[in-house]
Structure formats: structure tokens, C-alpha cells
């Protein structure tokens, strides 16, 4: 495994189990939108605000997202009226913020590929969309049920760049390059591993990875890197931020916590 972050450089502190239990009132499973999700996935104290790192069966038929909006509107709407937002204690991005951030944001797919590619947000959301209702599981012991993710299956992106036979892993680079994560290529290509850019038909909330994040439902949330700007095909595993901090590389959720059709 290729080491990425020396342990001595890592200063973040995750929430303790006791702290999470204080949030949850000793409840192990919570309904969608409860504050504990934000508590477990928010940036730890002392970590820059551009940090990331923790964190839904699909419709199985991709749907096209109006890539050629004639009025110049963005292809995927900010904010939104989904019932989720009445209880999820994180604001989404308003239109002015969205346009400002996305004026410079791009997604780069490169590494061991035949044709490296860079996409802006409109181009990314113009690709075939995958909608899926999946659970989120925190390493601290609680779960969030039925998150309505919107995004792109990674195979859709890989078909465009054509990975080389030597590619065995995928590294997800995040804003600031500090909170990168890595997955075996086989897991990145599983049916429900996606690059998510929305929840319930709206852009991601700022605290949960806007503009784009990884979603790996059968692994603990820290494997679902947030604020992704680059996807690199590699020939070895990379030890990302949370792994260097002591978390398992794969971070698989125990089968006893997985619900049929939700991972």
C-alpha cells in the first residue's frame, strides 16, 4: 500500500463513541436527517473547512439530466423542496454560491487511462444519472436509512477514459489534497458505488461534499470521500487520511448492519 499522509502530520480528532451516544441518546439507528449524521461527518476541530471524509436499490435505469437547458439554467438544481431538507440540519447551496463555486470547479479523471478527461459540473451532470435509495453507516455505530442519492456510476466515467489493464485501484483526490481516499477498482465498479452530486434531486449540502462525493453504501462513511476534484486510476492502494489515522483500509460494514437492497 502506498502511504500518503505521515501520521505525525495528522492533527484531526474524531468524535468519541461517548460523544456520539450523547447526541443520539444511546440510539443506534436514527431516521433520515437527524443531527447525528452531521455530527459524525462534519469536519473535526482543527481541520480546515475544505476537509472531508466520512459517509444511498437504484432505479437501475439511468436517466438523462437535461444537458442542453435552452434557458442557460444549470442542469441540476440547487437547494430544493425535498422533504429531506425539513429535518436535515445542513443548508444546501443557493444559486449564486453554486455558480461562483462551479465557475472554477472541474472533475479530472486520469492516471492509468488511455484518454484523460476533465469535466465541468454541467458536463458531469449531463451524463447518465443513477438514482439510488441507500443506507449510510457510521463507524461510531449508528446508521441513516434511505438516503435518496443522485449521481453517476463510476463505470460511466471509466468508459470515457478507458483504464489500462494495469489499473487495479482508484484514488479520489479531494479539495486541498489532504483527505484523499482509495478503493480497489473492483469495489469502485460495484453496482451501488457512485460519484454522487445530489440528494433528492438537489445539489449536495455544503457539509456533505458539494459539488461531488463518493458514495460506497456497503462501507463505512469515511470511505466515501467528499469534495472530490480528481479521480486517478492507479496500480496500488493509497493510504488515505482516515486510514493513516488508524481506520481499516476497506472499512466494510458488518453484514448484520446491512439491509437487503440498501447497500
- Domains of the chain in start order, with CATH, are 2-257 (3.90.420.10)
Residue 210 has pLDDT above 50, yes or no: yes
pLDDT at residue number 118: 98
pLDDT at residue number 229: 97
Q: 65-86: per-residue pLDDT in tens?
A: 333 333 445 667 775 555 655 5
* pLDDT band for position 38 (cuts 50, 70, 90): very low
Does the predicted model carry a pTM greater than 0.85? Answer: no
List alpha helices for the chain, DSSP H: 17-24, 35-41, 95-102, 121-125, 154-161, 185-188, 241-244
Residues of the chain with pLDDT > 90, as a percent, come to: 52
Least confident of 84-88, 118-122, 168-172, 248-252: 84-88
Residue 39 has pLDDT above 80, yes or no: no
Least confident of 23-27, 70-74, 86-90, 217-221: 23-27
Residue 8 has pLDDT above 90, yes or no: no
State the average pLDDT over residues 8-31: 30
* pLDDT band for position 49 (cuts 50, 70, 90): very low
pLDDT at residue number 217: 96
d(CA 72, CA 200): 22
Buried b (16+ CB within 10 A) or exposed e, 142-161: bbbbebbbbbbbbebbbeeb
Residue 154 has pLDDT above 70, yes or no: yes
pLDDT at residue number 21: 27
Phi, psi of 150 (to 5 degrees): -125, 135
- For the ranges 10-14, 54-58, 62-66, the maximum mean pLDDT occurs at 62-66
Helix (H) / strand (E) element for 182: namely strand 181-184
State the average pLDDT over residues 162-191: 96
Amino acid at each position: 500500500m502506498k502511504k500518503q499522509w505521515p501520521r505525525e502530520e495528522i492533527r484531526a480528532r474524531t468524535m468519541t463513541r461517548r460523544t456520539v451516544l450523547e447526541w443520539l441518546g444511546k440510539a443506534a439507528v436514527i431516521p433520515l436527517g437527524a443531527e447525528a449524521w452531521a455530527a459524525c461527518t462534519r469536519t473535526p476541530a482543527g481541520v480546515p473547512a475544505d476537509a472531508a471524509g466520512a459517509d444511498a436499490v437504484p432505479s437501475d435505469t439511468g436517466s438523462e439530466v437535461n444537458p442542453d437547458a435552452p434557458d442557460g439554467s444549470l442542469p441540476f438544481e440547487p437547494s430544493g423542496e425535498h422533504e429531506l431538507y425539513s429535518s436535515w440540519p445542513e443548508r444546501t447551496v443557493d444559486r449564486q454560491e453554486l455558480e461562483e463555486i462551479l465557475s472554477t470547479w472541474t472533475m479530472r479523471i486520469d492516471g492509468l487511462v488511455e484518454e484523460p478527461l476533465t469535466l465541468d459540473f454541467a458536463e458531469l451532470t449531463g451524463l447518465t444519472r443513477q438514482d439510488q435509495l441507500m443506507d449510510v453507516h457510521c463507524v461510531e455505530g449508528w446508521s441513516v436509512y434511505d438516503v435518496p442519492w443522485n449521481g453517476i456510476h463510476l463505470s460511466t466515467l471509466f468508459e470515457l477514459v478507458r483504464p489500462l489493464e494495469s489499473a487495479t485501484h482508484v484514488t479520489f483526490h479531494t479539495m486541498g489534497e489532504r483527505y484523499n481516499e482509495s478503493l480497489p477498482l473492483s469495489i469502485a465498479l460495484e453496482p451501488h458505488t457512485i460519484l454522487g452530486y445530489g440528494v433528492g434531486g438537489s445539489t449536495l449540502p455544503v457539509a456533505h461534499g458539494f459539488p461531488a462525493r463518493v458514495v460506497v453504501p456497503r462501507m463505512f462513511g469515511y470511505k466515501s470521500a467528499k469534495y472530490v476534484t480528481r479521480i486517478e486510476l492507479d496500480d496500488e492502494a493509497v493510504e488515505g487520511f482516515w486510514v493513516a489515522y488508524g481506520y481499516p483500509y476497506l472499512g466494510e460494514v458488518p453484514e448484520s448492519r446491512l439491509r437487503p437492497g440498501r447497500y
